[in-house]
Amino acid sequence: MGTTAMKITQESLKHFVEDLRVTHKENLAAVVLYGSAAAGDAMAERFGLNVLVALHSITPKDLRLAQAPAREWQRLGQPTPVYFTLRELSEAADVFPIEFHQMARTRRVLFGQDPFEFVELSNANLRHQTEYELRGKLIQLRRSYIPASASSEKLAALMSESLGTFSSLFRPVLILHGVEPPVAKQAAVRAVVELLGLDGETFEKIFTLRAEGAEEFALTDEQANSLFASYMQQLERVVEVVDRLPAQASASPL
């Protein structure tokens, strides 16, 4: 993403935070940008900014009030923010270990006090959620392949879009092996490739698709299907490794 686009995005983010302040007033406890974009990953900004809104209390009225700022934010191509109460953030760490690990490592407080400052994250459920998410996304990938296999363009788009999701799930794979995960998705994938001895060329080709688009990095039908076969095989190997890992019980502050 170019410099001009970055400035527009940051300015839009400031306006969004101000809209949230006006909307929720004293009930607004914090606004947090999390994920790769919080660490300045330009590719992540291209695919959307993840924002968490922490309120002191949440009622249906509070969510109705959020329609106006959320609608404007979505108009800019951004995903709807995630809403938590401060109490829920302290109590839900064991339920969302992947998401909370991501927020712990890549977050930027845009308003208020850091709501994760005193939250402790247990790894007891991390392996279970990681395997659950990986298997679920792999099953969905197989289903999506059926219609996408009709053309190399559709298949290239499927691999490009799905790798963003799997890249995020590779970070907890590293954590479960005691490795500090890199912030950038491509770096996280490369770290898992090295750790597990995967075929790195497969992922590099798909990252090129994500960066350049199917038009600039054209594949024949045979090449696209061959790349997908290797892609699925590598993902299956990751799932197998996670399945054999023991559950972790340690806790660490965010």
At 194, which CATH number? 1.20.120
Q: Pick the last residue of a domain from 91, 122, 153.
A: 122
In the chain, how many domains are there? 2
pLDDT tens digits along 102-137: 787 788 999 998 988 877 776 768 898 999 999 999
The H or E element spanning position 14 is helix 3-24
pLDDT tens digits along 143-160: 999 999 999 999 999 999
Indicate if 106 and 178 belong to the same structural domain.
no
Non-local CB neighbours of 7 within 8 Å, separated by 6+ positions = none
Non-local CB neighbours of 215 within 8 Å, separated by 6+ positions = none
Residue 4 has pLDDT above 50, yes or no: no
Q: Pick the last residue of a domain from 122, 144, 160.
A: 122
Task: State how far Cα 242 lies from the chain centre.
Answer: 19
Name the residue type at position 73: W
Indicate if 133 and 220 belong to the same structural domain.
yes
Name the residue type at position 238: V
Q: Given this model, what pLDDT does residue 105 score?
A: 75
- Domain annotation covers residue 174: yes
**Which whole number is the average pLDDT over 158-173?**
94
> Per residue in 183-213, is it b (16+ CB within 10 Å) or e — as a string?
bbbbbbbbbbbeebebeeebbebbbebbeee
User: What is the token pair recorded at 80?
Assistant: 């709807």
Q: What is the pTM of this model?
A: 0.71
Note the maximum CA span of the chain: 58
Q: Pick the last residue of a domain from 122, 145, 166.
A: 122
Indicate if 111 and 130 belong to the same structural domain.
no
Residue 40 has pLDDT above 70, yes or no: no
Non-local CB neighbours of 150 within 8 Å, separated by 6+ positions = none
Distances in Å between the Cα of 27 and the Cα atoms of 3, 91, 94, 113, 119 are: 35, 19, 25, 13, 20
Residue 100 has pLDDT above 60, yes or no: yes
Q: Are 76 and 84 within 8 A, CB to CB?
A: no
Q: Given this model, what pLDDT does residue 179 score?
A: 93
Indicate if 145 and 181 belong to the same structural domain.
yes
- Domain annotation covers residue 200: yes
Mean pLDDT over each residue of the chain, to the nearest integer: 86
Q: What is the band of 252 on the pLDDT scale with cuts at 50, 70, 90?
A: very low
What is the domain extent for residue 89?
A: 3-122
